[in-house]
């Protein structure tokens, strides 16, 4: 069995702050950020505070909730940007890595 690693809020905040500095120092201006649900919303919200750019959210599912959590063959789009919001069209590189 794999051992779990626990991180505090302060640990995550420190890492996100360092990431924000790297992004700022890269001299690339991002217009928006796409946050991916399932663990990405909290770090994205922290990063948004440092970068001061809007967040757009998507959520995917890899498990079938109707079948006792079985892994699905394809990723399901639960919440998606469809159609792409007008605010994102023509924007420079949404921050989504």
Q: Which domain holds residue 30?
A: 9-79
Specify if 84 maps to a domain.
no
Is pLDDT above 70 for 53? yes
**In the chain, % of residues over pLDDT 90:** 35
CATH of the domain at 65: 3.40.50.2020
| Helix/strand/coil for 61 | strand
- For residue 72, the model assigns a pLDDT of 73
The pTM is what?
0.68
Asked whether residue 2 is domain-assigned, the answer is no
The CA angle 88-90-96, to the nearest 5 degrees, is 50
For residue 71, being part of any structural domain is answered with: yes
Q: Is residue 74 part of a domain?
A: yes
Tens-place pLDDT, residues 80-92? 777 777 777 776 6
- The answer to whether residue 41 is domain-embedded is yes
Total number of domains constituting the chain: 1
- Does residue 3 fall inside a structural domain? no
Task: Flag whether 96 is in a domain.
Answer: no
- The DSSP symbol for 95 reads B
Q: Evaluate whether 54 touches 87 at the Cβ level (below 8 Å).
A: yes
Mean of pLDDT over the chain: 82
| Residue 20 belongs to a domain | yes
| Tens digit of each residue's pLDDT (9 = 90 or more) over 59-75 | 887 776 666 667 777 87
């Amino acid at each position: 069995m794999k051992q779990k690693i626990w991180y505090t809020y302060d640990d995550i905040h420190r890492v996100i702050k360092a990431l924000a500095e790297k992004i700022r120092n890269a001299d690339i201006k991002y217009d928006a950020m796409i946050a991916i649900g399932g663990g990405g919303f909290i770090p994205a919200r922290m990063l948004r505070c440092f970068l001061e750019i809007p967040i757009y959210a998507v959520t995917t599912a890899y498990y079938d909730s109707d079948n006792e959590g079985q892994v699905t063959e394809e990723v399901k789009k639960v919440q998606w940007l469809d159609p792409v919001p007008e605010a994102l069209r023509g924007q420079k590189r949404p921050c989504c890595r």
